[in-house]
Amino acid sequence: KNQVEQSPQSLIILEGKNCTLQCNYTVSPFSNLRWYKQDTGRGPVSLTIMTFSENTKSNGRYTATLDADTKQSSLHITASQLSDSASYICVVSASGSNYQLIWGAGTKLIIKP
Amino acid sequence: DTGVSQNPRHKITKRGQNVTFRCDPISEHNRLYWYRQTLGQGPEFLTYFQNEAQLEKSRLLSDRFSAERPKGSFSTLEIQRTEQGDSAMYLCASSRNLRDRASSPLHFGNGTRLTVT
């Protein structure tokens, strides 16, 4: 069964600290893996998209890694800011089509001052 | 702001009533998607349009749900005879039709939150 599992479910860190969110998937075949940021009450916003051949991709203070052999991805946030408080969702595409996406349940990140 | 626009932002309705939501995608995007999201879960795919053609529909989508995109621009999602279980955030997204599908991210609107009482 195609699944995307994220950990931790929630995380609280102090402003300025770094953190890493994990994503494990059992999706086959594999086309690409995406990370989205979703603020409360708003739609998800794309952070990164990685294909099989990419093992790291950065977007400002966000760096995503992908290990297609172990089927794991991580999202590292550097020097966290209060505005980073959000849910971070890992999404895997089996076919490359946007409508056949397997969504994780997300990690809820809270940044405290 | 030329992002995806959804209206209304919130809708409260009584069980059994019909509701209709509207989505205006990014103008140059020919693909449009509807998702439903409940608290603590990722979005669940409902249906997808390429231009005015509805190409995919989730098997989970009840026949009380219908979506249209008559001119290939804006789209509407109607729910007939609403039930309490329909309470959720309804998200619309759009994307370009690129040859490299891996690089065509979804751009989401901020959703319509439906509460059925």
Q: What is the pLDDT of residues A9-19, one digit of tens each?
A: 999 999 999 99
- Indicate the pLDDT class of residue B98, thresholds 50, 70 and 90: low
| Percent of all residues in chain A with a pLDDT value above 70, rounded to a whole number | 96
CA separation, residue A80 to residues A13, A63, A104, B75 (Å): 8, 12, 22, 38
The mean per-residue pLDDT over the stretch B35-64 comes to 90
Shortest CA gap B16–chain A (Å): 25
- Indicate the pLDDT class of residue B100, thresholds 50, 70 and 90: low
pLDDT > 90? residue A98: no
For residue B33, which amino acid is it?
A: Y
Say whether B40 and A98 touch across the interface (CB within 8 A).
no
What is the end-to-end Cα distance of chain A in Å, rounded? 41
CB atoms within 10 A of CB B97: 12
The mean per-residue pLDDT over the stretch B7-13 comes to 97
Mean pLDDT for chain B overall? 91
The mean per-residue pLDDT over the stretch A65-72 comes to 94
What is the end-to-end Cα distance of chain B in Å, rounded? 33
Q: What is the pLDDT of residue B25?
A: 96
Q: What is the pLDDT of residue B28?
A: 86
Is B39 near chain A, with CB under 8 Å? no
Shortest CA gap B87–chain A (Å): 14
Q: What is the pLDDT of residue A52?
A: 84
Q: Indicate the helix (H) or strand (E) that contains B95.
A: strand B88-95
Say whether A43 and B42 touch across the interface (CB within 8 A).
no
Q: What is the pLDDT of residue B103?
A: 57
Q: What is the pLDDT of residue B36?
A: 96
- Core vs surface per residue B71-80: b (16+ CB within 10 A) or e: eeebbebebe
Say whether B102 and A93 touch across the interface (CB within 8 A).
yes
Phi/psi for B77 (5° steps) reads -120, 120
d(CA A94, CA A70): 16
Shortest CA gap A47–chain B (Å): 9
Contacts of A93 in chain B (CB under 8 A): 102
The mean per-residue pLDDT over the stretch A87-113 comes to 89
Say whether A101 and B45 touch across the interface (CB within 8 A).
yes
Q: Any idea what the Cα angle at residue A72 is, between residues A55 and B40, rounded to 5°?
A: 120
